[in-house]
Structure 1
């Protein structure tokens, strides 16, 4: 049968069948990492797509049911600073529970928001255990420890202990459909993952979550190495080399905050300073990290927090202690550094969802719709030209010097005065009937209107018949 005569539905089903075939994958997902000998033991650990995980190895880890109980128990015990909610369900219908921690967890505030995601890969369960340790530590130490109090009172922290509960139960990398969730997101270079109909429910849940919440930054927890990874994760030509995103210096700073606070991550012999650019390590496509940055303005790190994917449960408290200060310092850095503020409209005084850009950095951070608040992460110790803009308003910029503390900077934007009247009010005027009214001319128009009205009243009786005929003659509507 000729190729041209093959039914399109048959081709679609054939491509889908190939996509569901099991594939060998690296720890962060995406293209395979060739075992060229340059990666040593890390390469061997990461390429175990389906390692044999015995019941003995899994003993001591919370099951999905036990994790669900632990999440709700936390919500009851720490109800004054927490909210429990679900962002969706897995393939096998298990809820994806989130813990929100804040001094006002049920309210929206003009504060930065951060999310931690664990267990993206089913065979990397350390993150789900460590994140429950983090939640409980914050609850136990709120108003006792300065760092815990700073975080709870000045940001909204969202914790998703498991993104892949089905993969955890099956003790393999992918979800119940055997799809690697860390290469299921839309990719900036290749459109292979851009069909929404084939995207996994866990992936869709994360994407919808980003639309609902205004996240400043985030991190996903993985296992199989010990390093803080940052964008970009892939390259245009799929080559393995350093490929930095516009905020490369900022991401290096964030990764270093984590690595330098870790017990031994910064001492790595494999990765200088315990950090790495994703594409330089090995390229992947369809990753969650790059998608967050591009589509959510959310600065995300991929944190490999355990050399072993499935360490003995007795080692989990030690792994938590090794990562505790890293996680706390990363969260605190959003509050204690960067530039923060709100954007207002000069004519109404109301907050507006404008954008903030930094001169020389080709990326933007959007302000929230509710409060017009923005939170821009930048490297301390430098000068920056910060600009706020929004369609229909004149942009404004100012220079700041960011030292070690945060800078608070509000913008009040003036309307640009070039809006077309009537378009927002249903006026179907032709081009010849559209008026571009400048703000400075408004009083002149009002004066002319008053004069015409006075003349109309004076001569009303003498010209009644003529004016009556004019009033009811057909005219085009004009918004004023």
Structure 2
């Protein structure tokens, strides 16, 4: 007798790291949090929800901040950072008048688990074997490292881009749709996408990843870095274009930044927080024998320290976005000065060689 086909089931909250915490956060966060399910992705016989949380003023004239985590399922700490920061906001909103006032002038858009299938099994890729940060229709030029920069050889290898000319993966499409509808139409937006797994230092990267060419909003990024350095002079972050480290095909944030230029009066500054997980391995060498330990702090007090540090960065980003009119360069001369300083700081282009 033939066996009936296995039924597709919705994910049980106990199965996915952070899922129960997110649902509890939504409940605790009323009336401040708006919860949306952007869609579902299949992992085996399960359908996994793609969650988004929205806080603050929905007026499209307000500036915005976007926070994203869990793009790579191995890098659980990125999702943890986003979740813990939103939880801290919810707790403060019960009593903190200054935070309540801040969110009256700001929209906050959050996607804490972009790749729930990867988080479920501890995989960098999504259930289809695709690296979501190599999945956008952006082609890099020469100098892309083999495999690491994205390839189409096989889904069994890391950094797989997906089939040529295929639509983006549902997780990538959901992220892009959320950004395009909630963030790109606004006059000013900063996003932070939280990752781990590179180097000894925490880095804040900005586009481009597919070319060493400077981004159009280089003056604004330099002004933001200047405000950051002056406001938190002891901060540990290295801020730089990703292209200083390596080039990649298919970067989602390059794709979205290029899309944002269809509205030239808007400022969209996508940042990637790349937490330096090699430092965690250096302090606890046994982690190098665990795939999870290469990308995440495994000792509880170290994880708490990481979360506290990133809360400071994210709080600064909220305040910088709300107050952007105070520091964004105004006028051609001021923008030109910041552009020159940025070229010297990040691109090391001699003045005589500049256009």
Aligned counterpart in structure 1 of residue 217 of structure 2, from 228, 247, 252: 247
> What CA distance in whole angstroms lies between the structure 2 residues aligned with 1:133 and 1:263?
23
CA distance in structure 2 between the aligned counterparts of 1:313 and 1:99, rounded to whole angstroms: 29
Calculate the TM-score normalised by the size of structure 1: 0.51
DSSP-derived class of the 2:250 partner:
coil
Where do residues 13-412 of structure 1 align in structure 2 (5 Å cutoff)? 65=16, 67-92=18-43, 93-102=47-56, 104=57, 107-142=58-93, 144-145=95-96, 148-187=99-138, 189=140, 197-215=166-184, 216-225=189-198, 226-235=202-211, 242-254=212-224, 261=232, 264-266=235-237, 274-296=238-260, 298-307=268-277, 308=280, 309-312=295-298, 314=300, 315-338=302-325, 379-380=327-328, 382-384=329-331
Q: Is the 8 A contact 2:53 2:109 kept in 1?
A: yes
* Structure 2 Cα separation of the partners of residues 124 and 78 of structure 1: 25
Mapped partners of 1:228, 1:66: distance in 2: 25
- Say whether the 8 Å CA contact 1:74–1:136 is kept in structure 2: yes
1:118–1:249 Cα change, 3 Å: same
Length, aligned pairs only: 271
Kindly indicate whether the alpha-carbon contact (under 8 Å) linking 1:261 and 1:329 is maintained by their aligned counterparts in 2: no
Aligned-pair Cα RMSD in Å: 3.1
Q: 1:196 to 1:256 in 2, by over 3 A?
A: farther
Distance 1:170 1:252, change over 3 A: farther
CA distance in 1, matches of 2:98, 2:139: 37
Q: How far apart are the structure 2 equivalents of 1:206 and 1:293?
A: 13
Distance 1:97 1:313 in 2: 28
**DSSP 3-state at the match of 2:240:** strand
Alpha-carbon separation, structure 2, partners of 1:89 and 1:263: 42
TM-score (norm 2): 0.68
In the alignment, the residues of structure 2 paired with residue 218 and residue 171 of structure 1 have an alpha-carbon distance, to the nearest angstrom, of: 25
Contact 2:140 2:247 in 1 (8 A): no
From the superposition, tell whether residues 100 and 313 of structure 1 become closer, same or farther in structure 2 (CA, over 3 Å).
farther
**Distance of aligned partners of 1:232 and 1:109 in 2 relative to their CA distance in 1, 3 Å threshold:** closer
The 1:279–1:71 alpha-carbon spacing in structure 2 relative to 1, beyond 3 Å, is same
Q: Deviations over 1:379-409 (max 9, x none)?
A: 54x44169xxxxxxxxxxxx99xxxxxxxxx
Matched position secondary structure for 1:244 = coil
Residue 146 of structure 1: how far off its partner (Å):
5.8
Query: 1:109, CA displacement in angstroms?
Result: 4.4
Preserved contact between residue 118 and residue 126 of structure 2 (Cα < 8 Å)? yes
In 1, distance between residues paired with 2:252 and 2:246? 15
| Distance in 1, Cα, partners of 2:94 & 2:272 | 30
Shift of 1:91: 3.6
Distance 1:166 1:295 in 2: 27
Distance 2:76 2:222 in 1: 26
Q: Which has the larger radius of gyration?
A: 1
Hey, what's the Cα distance between the residues in 1 that align with 2:254 and 2:90?
31
Deviations 1:350-403 (A, max 9, x none): xxxxxxxxxxxxxxxxxxxxxxxxxxxxx54x44169xxxxxxxxxxxx99xxx
- CA-to-partner distance for each residue in 1:203-255, whole Å, 9 max, x for gaps? 111122233223422110000231001111122xxxxxx53111112223445
CA distance in 2, matches of 1:63, 1:130: 20
* Bigger relative contact order, structure 1 or 2 (CA pairs below 8 A, ≥6 apart): 2
* Cα drift, residue 320 of structure 1: 1.2
CA displacement at 1:108 relative to structure 2: 4.0
